[in-house]
């Protein structure tokens, strides 16, 4: 099930894996993240589905774009996919988060926690995409 070189099953699996990783990651680092973000538990509305929907859509777009980049570069091996994911992370994710967090006055620890999350996400996506096939 592919269109223009993209395997949609692999993209869906990669997005789901990234979403699950995020849930585990932020559950594990929840207290540290909340402190870094200057939030308290009363500030979080867990019954609001909008952030979760946005996160799921963002994971899907990221998985699709990563699959497209891996396919475009022509190396869908695990090593090639991981290298592509790393360059996307360092070149686009870390740089934009660092700029946004500095202008927002966020603590550097928030940038480290959030960037660590996205590194895990793109690497897990790279493993899924290279395993299933982009």
pLDDT of residue 46: 79
pTM for this one? Answer: 0.92
The pLDDT score that the predictor gives to residue 44 is 81
Three-state DSSP state, 5: coil
| Segments forming the whole domain that contains residue 21 | 2-132
**Assigned token pair, 74:** 């022509």
Kindly list the distances between the CA atom of residue 114 and the CA atoms of 76, 98, 109, in Å, as whole numbers in the listed order. 27, 10, 9
How long is the chain? Answer: 134
Dihedral angle computed from the Cα positions of residues 113, 48, 55 and 92, in that order, rounded to the nearest 10 degrees = -50
Q: Output the pLDDT for position 42.
A: 83
Low-confidence ranges of the chain (pLDDT < 70): 1-4
- The string over 92-113, giving b where at least 16 C-beta atoms fall within 10 Å of a residue's C-beta and e elsewhere, is ebbeebeeebeeeebeeebbeb
The whole-number pLDDT of residue 4 equals 65
Total number of domains in the chain? 1
pLDDT for residue 99: 98
Phi and psi at 2, nearest 5°, equal -130, 150
| pLDDT in the model for residue 5 | 73
């Amino acid at each position: 099930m592919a269109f223009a070189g993209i395997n949609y099953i692999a993209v869906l699996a990669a997005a789901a894996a990234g979403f699950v990783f995020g849930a585990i990651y932020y559950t594990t680092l929840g207290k540290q993240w909340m402190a870094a973000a200057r939030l308290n538990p009363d500030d979080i509305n867990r019954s609001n589905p909008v952030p979760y929907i946005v996160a799921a859509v963002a994971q899907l777009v990221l998985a699709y774009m990563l699959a497209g980049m891996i396919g475009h570069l022509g190396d869908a091996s695990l090593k090639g996919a991981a290298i592509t994911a790393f360059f996307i992370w360092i070149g686009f994710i870390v740089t934009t988060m660092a700029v946004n967090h500095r202008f927002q006055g966020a603590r550097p620890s928030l940038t480290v926690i959030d960037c660590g999350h996205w590194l895990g996400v793109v690497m897990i996506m790279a493993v899924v995409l290279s395993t299933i096939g982009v």
